[in-house]
Amino acid sequence: MTTATSGLGANVDEFHIRIDEQYLHNQAGMGAREKEREPAAGKSRAKQLLERVFDARTRERSWRRGAEGEEAVARRLERLPRPWAVVHDHTVGRRGATLDRLVLGPAGILVFNTKNLTGRLTVYDQAVLQNGHKTAFVPAALREGHTVQDRLSTALRRPVHAWSVLVVLGAEITIKKPLPT
């Protein structure tokens, strides 16, 4: 394991980057699958089965759909030729937050945030709505990209650019006014 920290005297955990072979073997959706099992721990098998059969809107369903979306994107990314590399479910920070995936290659560093949604997604220049409700999808994706960019720039002691990529599956998407670039 290699740990890189800033020489700026900041709290080491703020700039911690862990480079470890374990991340090369992470499975897509692994973290979401773990979260899917957590809420189910206190429920009877019969209740879990009924909720699944009737596709009830539960936390388990949300995590399961998230994992299915991440797995679908991973299957598509498996086709990338070398020297592209994909790291799934990478932990950042001390609280266990994860990046859905990092895609590294000749075009740069891409930080994927995957959403497997139902209904309609409407894009305006200042907001993204899911079924009429404002979301934080774009700010969250941008924040993840900035986190990777800042940490790698600090570790390498030179500017590094990371692109934020929001991947949406399952929703009907209507673009009313494109987001600014």
Cβ neighbours for 118, distance < 8 A, ≥ 6 positions apart: 65, 131, 170, 171
What is the CB-side half-sphere exposure of residue 30 using CA atoms within 13 A? 17
Cα–Cα dist 29/43, whole Å: 23
Cβ neighbours for 78, distance < 8 A, ≥ 6 positions apart: 86
pLDDT for res 37: 64
Instruction: Determine, yes or no, domain membership for 51.
Output: yes
DSSP state of 178: P
Q: What is the pLDDT along the chain (181 residues), one digit of tens a residue?
A: 333 333 333 333 343 444 455 555 666 666 666 766 665 666 676 666 665 655 656 677 777 888 888 889 999 998 999 889 888 887 776 666 778 888 989 989 999 999 999 899 999 988 899 999 999 999 999 999 999 999 889 988 999 999 999 999 999 999 998 877 6
Count how many domains the chain has.
1
pLDDT for res 112: 94
Provide the residue range defining the domain that includes 101: 2-175
Instruction: Determine, yes or no, domain membership for 180.
Output: no
Instruction: Determine, yes or no, domain membership for 34.
Output: yes
Q: What angle do CA 68, 111, 134 make, to 5 degrees?
A: 70
* CB-CB contact of 113 with 144 (8 Å): yes
β-strand partners of 98: 91
Q: How far is it between the farthest Cα atoms of the chain?
A: 55
Nearest of 46, 171, 47 to residue 120 by alpha carbon: 171
How many C-beta atoms surround the C-beta of residue 168 within 10 A? 17
pLDDT for res 21: 54
